[in-house]
Amino acid sequence: MLTGLDRCVADGFALLAGKSVGLVCHQASVASDYVHILDHLLPLHRAGKLKIQAVFGPQHGIWGHTQDNMIEWEGYTDPRTGLRFYSLYGEHRKPTP
């Protein structure tokens, strides 16, 4: 049995070719090869085969960098990927005008 992510990895993310995508993920968003979805998508993004517009992270952040106990985190530009990360658990929990 394959997960949806494993199927996308197997076909080279063909479904996303030429598209702009937003990604909701966290530290456990890995394929069966133990590679994070961002690390699978970054080479395609950098080659212009798809565009990662934004990355959204839940309460504990994209990489699990915040702890339990309801700690909010704000978005930032990730230094490793250069992508903009948006918090779904920051001060604003719905779009602002």
Length of the chain: 97
Residue 52: per-residue pLDDT: 96
CATH number of 4-87: 3.40.50.12170
As a whole number of angstroms, the distance between CA 97 and CA 78 comes to 25
Instruction: Please state the domain extents for the chain.
Output: 4-87
| pLDDT averages per 10-residue partition of the chain, 97 residues | 93 96 89 95 97 85 62 75 81 63
Q: What global pTM score does this model have?
A: 0.79
